[in-house]
Amino acid sequence: MSSIDLTSPDIMDAKEASIIWGHAENYVRRAYQQNPNKFPKGSIRKFGKQWIITTAGMEAITGVKDPRKQNKH
C-alpha cells in the first residue's frame, strides 16, 4: 500500500486550485462536470461536498504548469 502525504502542496481543494491557476472558484467543478475523462486517474476526488485535486490534475485540465513553481529557480 502506498503512502499519501496529505501535507503535500500538490494536494489542494478545488477552490484554492482554481484561484492559483487564475480561474473562477468553480472552475474545477465545472471542468469535471463537462469532461471528467480529461482528469488523470486519481487526480480528483470528492469528499462529502469538498472536491480535492492534485497539481497533476490541474496541469492536465489547464495545460499550464503549477504557477507556484514557475518563479522558482
Task: Provide mean pLDDT across the span 5-34.
Answer: 96
Confidence grade of residue 70 (pLDDT, cut at 50, 70, 90): confident
- In three-state secondary structure terms, 44 is strand
Please check whether residue 47 is in contact with residue 53, taking contact to mean a CB–CB distance below 8 angstroms. Answer: no
Residue 6 inside a domain? The answer is: no
Q: pTM of the full predicted structure? A: 0.88
Residue 4 inside a domain? The answer is: no
Give me the residue label for grid cell 522558482: 72
How far is residue 42 CA from its own chain's centroid? 11
Number of domains in the chain: 1
Residue 68 inside a domain? The answer is: no
- Could you give the strand order of the β-sheet that contains 44-47, starting from the edge strand earlier in sequence? 11-13, 50-54, 44-47
Helix axes 27-34, 55-62, angle to 10 degrees: 70
Q: Which structural domain range is residue 21 located in?
A: 11-63
Residue 21 inside a domain? The answer is: yes
